[in-house]
Chain A
């Protein structure tokens, strides 16, 4: 039908366009006309194709038409069976493929082609002190709660996994860990963003650095994963140097604290002693006496010589009065002498006993000042200061000894960061374990699928 239609129209059209003069124009017209005809044909064909389609003999429709012709009984019999069998069988396999095959193949592909090799550097170190107890070797302290050294090793092990170590490494060694783990040759699963904050980076860091502490020996084993041998060694080195710095800082701090307390004690007792010495000197300058005892004996000798003189004068006076009258001038001289001596004696006694009612002339005071105290008071002050000085000296020597002991103790508490397996540049990449990991993925996906399948089946069991 279509074949017949097109020529008819094609012939009908040219009649309209025959008004052209030259042959060339006619040819052009024909070409145009033909092109338009083709368009028309094409346009006509499009709807004409759609219209007959329902009646066209397609395979599907043939089946449909064939079925419509069959009787109703047959339709009912065949309908539920067909889709059931079609859908049920693939679902098991499809789910198996989706849950087991696809993940396993993806993992295998990942490990075969994409995964970048991981180099591991193992380092062992311990934090040791001078007073390592011999029991710790037997593991007995572990049962009771661990020794002191183990505590220090714990500190390092915890520190390596803390968020503090990342900024510390950057500050102390100048290595930014994030750039090590964000190199472009690392595969997309493990590559980090070097602009990521350190807090977020910490989880990744914990994955890449393994630290385990052996409570029996007190040693720490550290494993660092990285994506090139030099990187792995460099990261291990920087961890070690930062940890050593930490141990040294802590050790320094304890030592300084212990010694500081002793030092303060020494300074305090020294100050006290100096103070007392100063008071002593002041007193000695004030009293113009180095030793109160000699002052006292001096006073005593003065008194006794005065008394002696007085006694001899009195005997002379008595003898004189016996021979001549008491009004004689020589007797008067002696009498005056005696009264002067007596006055002097009283004054001396007063000085010795501490009576303050001295004569106001002040010529007899030793120091030349009126405020000077009496001898007993001076002696008591001297002896008081002496006792105090004695105490201060003792305290000072004791504190010096304590300082010595504290220094020794600090020496004992010194911690050494001992690395006995230094980081060694790895020669081959040991990780990742591609076969093992693929196997694990395979096993776990199979078990997941089995569980899912059985659960599904057991639910289906209830459809009775």
Chain B
């Protein structure tokens, strides 16, 4: 009797794994399209960002905001932000891009989200590893000074990206124009996330406003592990709390409005 229920759950779990694995393969294949340029572009994008900022920086003859290397500062900032945003961006479109898959009753909206999230985070972790490794080779010293903190920060970033993406995916399916609204927010968010400056050097009034931006905490968490004495405006509890809250809301919404979400 006991065996029956256990087998049921194990069976469901194995089915789920199978579906997610299949979806991961599918999204990985379709991620870069037919051409090989897709992957190159993924690599070029951060380089382009960093070099544009370095050029502007050199042109303005500004001092390095923090530390001895402007490259390291911008790269950590861009990775802290772009990684979170990039993963969330692709993942929140998972339901829409996997719409044909949802016609199978076995495939649930959450499966597509998890599958896309897995693919995206793998890609971004590889990119991050490439850049950090390259940077440490270039600067001839270890870039990541607190490996435990770094791992923690990466996990937190992934967790936040997943929650944020799930939340956005649910709401963009339910609320019209939600998608465009979020896209409009993208650039201001980047400016307000401390990619180009050290938030603690701002006046306290600005800090109090910026503190509410969870992306800022992602960036700051990322940076804490690359500088020995970075003075971060970071509240780990806030970031984790926001992520958990978003995830709870998103899962509840998914449960309640499931039919509507699948239909949209």
Contacts and interface: CB of A to CB of B under 8 A. Distances in A.
Interface residues of A, number: 32
A101 to B, nearest CB: 18
Q: Name the residue in A448, A450, A459 with the highest tally of chain B Cβ atoms < 10 Å from its Cβ.
A: A459
A444 interface: yes
Given A458-B108, A461-B108, A464-B105, A215 B1 contact: no
A88 B110 CA distance: 23
A310 to B, nearest CB: 85
Interface stretch (B46-54, B71-79, B167-175, B245-253): B245-253
B165 to A, nearest CB: 15
B185 interface: no
A200 B11 CA distance: 47
Determine the main DSSP class of A at the interface with B. Answer: helix
Given A79-B1, A84-B5, A462-B106, A139 B203 contact: yes
Interface string A124-163: 0000000000000001001101100000001000100000
Contacts of B36: none
Given A462-B108, A463-B9, A463-B12, A454 B255 contact: yes
A457 B255 contact: yes
Interface stretch (B13-21, B121-129, B218-226): B13-21
B90 to A, nearest CB: 21
Contact of B244 (A216, A451, A462): A451
B109 to A, nearest CB: 9
Contacts of A460: 8-9, 12
A214 interface: yes
A454 B255 CA distance: 8
B200 interface: yes
B163 to A, nearest CB: 9
A243 B72 CA distance: 33
A422 B21 CA distance: 63
A87 interface: yes
A80 interface: yes
A450 B1 contact: no
A136 to B, nearest CB: 11
Interface in A288-336: none
Contacts of A462: 12-13, 15-16, 19, 106, 108
Given A215-B203, A459-B9, A450 B106 contact: no
Contacts of A173: none
A451 B63 contact: no
A55 to B, nearest CB: 26
Interface in A443-458: 444, 447-448, 450-451, 454-455, 457-458
Q: Name the residue in B16, B63, B252 with the highest tally of chain A Cβ atoms < 10 Å from its Cβ.
A: B16
Contacts of A146: 201
A450 B201 contact: no
Contacts of A461: 12, 108
A370 B254 CA distance: 118
Nearest to B7: A463
19 contacts: A80-B1, A83-B4, A84-B1, A139-B203, A154-B231, A215-B202, A216-B203, A444-B241, A447-B247, A448-B244, A451-B247, A457-B255, A458-B16, A458-B110, A462-B15, A462-B16, A463-B8, A463-B9, A463-B12
